[in-house]
Each structure stands twice: as structure tokens, then as C-alpha cells.
Amino acid sequence: MLLVKCVTNDAEMLRPNLDRYLIAENCINHLQNQINRELHASLVYLNMGSYFGQNLVARKGFSKFFHDASKEEGDHARKLIDYMSRRGAKVSTFDVEMPTKDTWPDGKTALEDALSLETKINNEIHKIHYKAEHECKDPHLMDFLETEFMEEQIDSINQLKRLVSIISKMDSGMGEYLLDRQLLSGSVGKDEL
């Protein structure tokens, strides 16, 4: 007579021979999707930086701000790739959604778009964290997301909200110009707002 033992997820986690070094397959898929989101955000910010840098728009501060944001998002993708590699996971082919917008009527609209994008990325990181805890049972992945992403996302969203608030209270193009100068000089960084 063959007995089949049913093992729950919690009981499975207590098995001494379970290899906790490897990332669970479903969490690998979530991380791969997040890499694609981070690369998409990098391209969106690159588009914004390029748009504001052209001589017909001439907003070098906004251009610098968005180019810096593009680099930061690319760095996030690299952090995820490096983490997956350290944990023995293979990064599969990239499937990056291309930006759909290449012009903005003003700096305020671009900052609002950036805020929306950062909020979406932050929400996705929280979803991965939840799945790491409840589906994959991977405290190391949870710690990695908390240490490398969550605080930085909160700081970025806070900075963008404050910039949108500042520029929303400016009634003229002169206000945008002055904010542009401050962005260029770096005097409205995350720590200054």
C-alpha cells in the first residue's frame, strides 16, 4: 500500500534539505518583470531629459534632473540583475516597453508623469515584497528589496511630490525657469526639499 503524504507550504519550508539559496521560480518571474519596468522607467526619463535638453525647449535643469533619474533607474535594473545572478537565477530575455510619449507642454506635466511612474514602480516593488513573504517564503529577497529599493522609492516620490507642489504654485513661465535653474545647480535635491 502506497501512502502519499500531503505537505503544506509551511511544512515544506521546515524541510532541512530545502535549498534556500535559490530563488523560487515565481519570484524569479516577478524580479524579471521588475527589471523590465526599471528599464522602461529609465527610457522614459531618458526621453524626458532629451526633450528638455533640446535647444527649442532649453530647460537644462529639467534635462539634468531627468537624465539623473534615467541613470538611477538603470542602476536599479542592474542591482536586480546582480542580485539574481548572486542567487543563481538566470535573467531571461528583456521585454522592455518603449516610452509612448516624447513631448511635454511644461515641466509641471513632466514632473506629474514622473510621479505617476515612480508610484507605479513603488507599488510593484511592494507586490514583489508581499509575494516574497507569502508565496516564495524568501526573507533574504524581502530584505534586499527593503534595503535597496523601498527607502529610495519613498525619497523619490517625496521629492517629486514636493517639486510638483512648488511648480504648481508658480503662475508664470518665470517660475518654471527659476526651478529649472535650481535643478541645474542641484539645490533642490532629495535632501534639500
C-alpha distances in Å from residue 108, one per residue of 42, 67, 190: 19, 16, 17
The CATH number given to whatever domain includes residue 175 is 1.20.1260.10
Long-range contacts of the stretch 154-162 (C-beta < 8 A, 24+): 154/122, 155/190, 156/69, 156/72, 156/118, 156/190, 157/115, 157/118, 157/119, 157/122, 158/190, 158/193, 159/189, 159/190, 159/193, 160/111, 160/114, 160/115, 160/118, 161/115, 162/193
What does the pLDDT look like over 81-133, one tens digit per residue?
A: 999 999 999 888 789 999 999 999 999 999 999 999 999 999 999 999 999 99
Whether 23 shows a pLDDT value over 50: the answer reads yes
Assigned domain for 190 exists? no
Assigned domain for 132 exists? yes
Q: How many Cα atoms within 13 Å fall on the side-chain side of residue 191?
A: 1
pLDDT value for 4: 38
114-123, 129-138, 172-181: the lowest-pLDDT one: 172-181
Assigned domain for 171 exists? yes
Assigned domain for 10 exists? no
Assigned domain for 36 exists? yes
Q: Is 153 annotated as a binding residue?
A: yes
Q: Is 73 annotated as a binding residue?
A: yes
Q: Is 72 annotated as a binding residue?
A: no
pLDDT value for 17: 44
Residue 83 structural domain: 21-185
Please state the domain count of the chain: 1
Assigned domain for 1 exists? no
Q: Is 118 annotated as a binding residue?
A: yes
pTM of the model: 0.86
